[in-house]
Amino acid sequence: MEFHPTSYTLGCVECGKTFSEDDQRLACDELHGPAFLRAHYAARQIAVRGGAAGMFRFGDWLPLRRPVTNSGVPVAFPSEKLGRALGLENLWIVFSGYWPERGAEMKTCTFKELEAPPVCSRFAGGGRTLVVASAGNTARAFAEICSRNDIPLVLVVHEAGLDNLWSTHPFSDAVTLVGVDDGADYFDAIQVADMIARRPGYAAEGGAKNVARRDGMGTALLAAAERAGRIPDHYFQAVGSGTGGIAAWEAAGRLLADGRFGAAKMKLHLAQNHPFTPMTDAWAAGSRALLDVAEDELKARLARVSAVVLSNRKPPYGIKGGVFDALTETGGRMYAVTNEEASTAAALFERLEGIDLDPAAAVAVGALKQAADRKLIDPQEMVLLNVTGGGKKRLFGEFPIHRLAPRVVLKRHEATEETIARLFG
């Protein structure tokens, strides 16, 4: 497979400062409020790289610096049966996961497999080890890609996510898994990861602040636009951190500037799993800040949702260039979808389209059904449903499954700077 590094700069969405050298920068260095950087690619018009590996076919709009073996590409196709059942005449699905008849070969069964390859490609390393905190799916995707490419990686995962660390291949020693238990959630995992990343020889992956992560996720929209030849009018996705929604908004902006994909101003429809809906609640209140809810109350709500991967307590919502700005600029909507609505929607999808969904994707289908039932969408408009994960049931029936065991499990209260210094000297 041929590889070409991509030509790009980084720009601050708040002050416009440009950084022409990419030193794995995650934020602007000027004194202003929190703001994203955005990648500005030399190619205003995208030329799909036919000979490139996997998702690197969209490499013109990915911050690629070194080759990384990857094979996953999101697969887009027009829905017939689900669209008809919901009264939508122009429904498209973009699927990330395992569905060989559709050409979907992501054996992690999650669109997080779109984040890890560009992040690892952008991260030139310099002997440093990448540190990633995750609710599970991101961890699985990074473990898969780093294992396959022998890229050193430390993963920090809270206990509810540990079951998500599996692969169809044995894991290499390049990957170190750290568990955090004792009632820890995703936010606790992030705090532990931050402590490790501050040690010499380690570097934070950066989450939503990493342009490679967002532009990797944005390839789901690029794949759909490539197939459909245009920007959709509406985009549906379930969100935990909201990064996928921000990524889709940014990718839509690039497609608009490209000029060959129509002029649709794609409206974001983002869904959370009731009752854990911090962004849905803030958006309904017209607030750029997340509403103040006690930690215990948030954790109690978290315990009641089926899509535990959508469990970020501090999502990049109010940050400049984040979810609030994306919703505001696109005239977007937020949804709250109950466990029951999600499981009904997942069963409908599996029956009509023929593949099992992961719990987060089920929430997205639940939101689409709400929008259709409430007649929020003109039936003729093009709707893109981002099915962010699926095919696990199918995959587990076809392949031997290997598990990644934690090298260390920390109790939440034990995860102090001293402990971390001792373990990651």
The only residue of 28, 154, 248, 270 in contact with Zn ion, by rule CB under 5 A: 28
Indicate the residue among 27 and 409 with the shorter CB distance to Zn ion: 27
Q: How far apart are CA 370 and CA 216, in angstroms?
A: 28
CB of 208 to Zn ion, least distance (A): 16
Indicate the residue among 12 and 131 with the shorter CB distance to Zn ion: 12
Q: Which own/partner contact pairs does 243-246 have at CB distance under 8 Å and 24+ positions apart? A: 243/207, 243/208, 243/213, 243/214, 243/217, 243/316, 244/111, 244/217, 244/220, 244/386, 244/388, 245/270, 245/323, 245/326, 245/327, 245/332, 246/36, 246/208, 246/214, 246/316, 246/321, 246/322, 246/323, 246/326
How many chain residues are in contact with Zn ion, going by CB under 5 A? 6
Question: In this structure, what are the phi and psi dihedrals at residue 29, rounded to the nearest 5 degrees?
Answer: -105, 5
Q: Which residues pair with 270 in a beta bridge?
A: 237, 334
Length of the chain: 425
Indicate the residue among 19 and 399 with the shorter CB distance to Zn ion: 19
Is position 177 an interface residue for Zn ion (rule: CB under 5 A)?
no
CB of 110 to Zn ion, least distance (A): 32
Q: How far apart are CA 147 and CA 129, in angstroms?
A: 13
Question: In this structure, what are the phi and psi dihedrals at residue 407, rounded to the nearest 5 degrees?
Answer: -80, -30
Nearest residue to 115 (alpha-carbon basis) of 100, 99, 130, 126: 130
Is position 18 an interface residue for Zn ion (rule: CB under 5 A)?
no
Indicate the residue among 325 and 356 with the shorter CB distance to Zn ion: 325
Is position 37 an interface residue for Zn ion (rule: CB under 5 A)?
no
Is position 410 an interface residue for Zn ion (rule: CB under 5 A)?
no
CB of 21 to Zn ion, least distance (A): 16
The stretch among 10-18, 80-88, 110-118, 344-352 that binds Zn ion (CB under 5 A) is 10-18
CB of 15 to Zn ion, least distance (A): 3
Q: Helix or strand or coil: residue 248?
A: helix
Looking at residues 374 to 403 of the shown chain, list those that interact with Zn ion (rule: CB under 5 A).
none
Is position 10 an interface residue for Zn ion (rule: CB under 5 A)?
no
The only residue of 8, 10, 11, 12 in contact with Zn ion, by rule CB under 5 A: 12
Is position 14 an interface residue for Zn ion (rule: CB under 5 A)?
yes
The only residue of 15, 285, 293, 408 in contact with Zn ion, by rule CB under 5 A: 15
CB of 19 to Zn ion, least distance (A): 10
> What's the burial of 59, exposed, middle or buried (CB within 10 Å: 0-12/13-18/19+)?
buried
CB of 306 to Zn ion, least distance (A): 39
Nearest residue to 188 (alpha-carbon basis) of 282, 316, 314: 314
Nearest residue to 97 (alpha-carbon basis) of 117, 81, 73, 125: 73
Indicate the residue among 16 and 286 with the shorter CB distance to Zn ion: 16
**CA torsion sign, 121 to 252 to 386 to 243?**
positive
Indicate the residue among 11 and 59 with the shorter CB distance to Zn ion: 11
- Residue 376, CB half-sphere, CA atoms under 13 Å: how many? 21
Indicate the residue among 17 and 40 with the shorter CB distance to Zn ion: 17
Q: How far apart are CA 319 and CA 148, in angstroms?
A: 34
Alpha-carbon distance values, 405 to 185, 214, 233, 409, 423 (Å):
19, 28, 44, 10, 17
Is position 144 an interface residue for Zn ion (rule: CB under 5 A)?
no
- Tokens representing 394 are 């199918």
CB of 30 to Zn ion, least distance (A): 4
Is position 62 an interface residue for Zn ion (rule: CB under 5 A)?
no
Indicate the residue among 17 and 412 with the shorter CB distance to Zn ion: 17
The only residue of 17, 102, 198, 394 in contact with Zn ion, by rule CB under 5 A: 17
CB of 17 to Zn ion, least distance (A): 5
Q: How far apart are CA 337 and CA 354, in angstroms?
A: 22
Is position 109 an interface residue for Zn ion (rule: CB under 5 A)?
no
Is position 325 an interface residue for Zn ion (rule: CB under 5 A)?
no
The only residue of 1, 2, 30, 421 in contact with Zn ion, by rule CB under 5 A: 30
The stretch among 25-33, 85-93, 144-152, 338-346 that binds Zn ion (CB under 5 A) is 25-33
CB of 26 to Zn ion, least distance (A): 12
| Binding positions for Zn ion, rule: CB under 5 A | 12, 14-15, 17, 28, 30
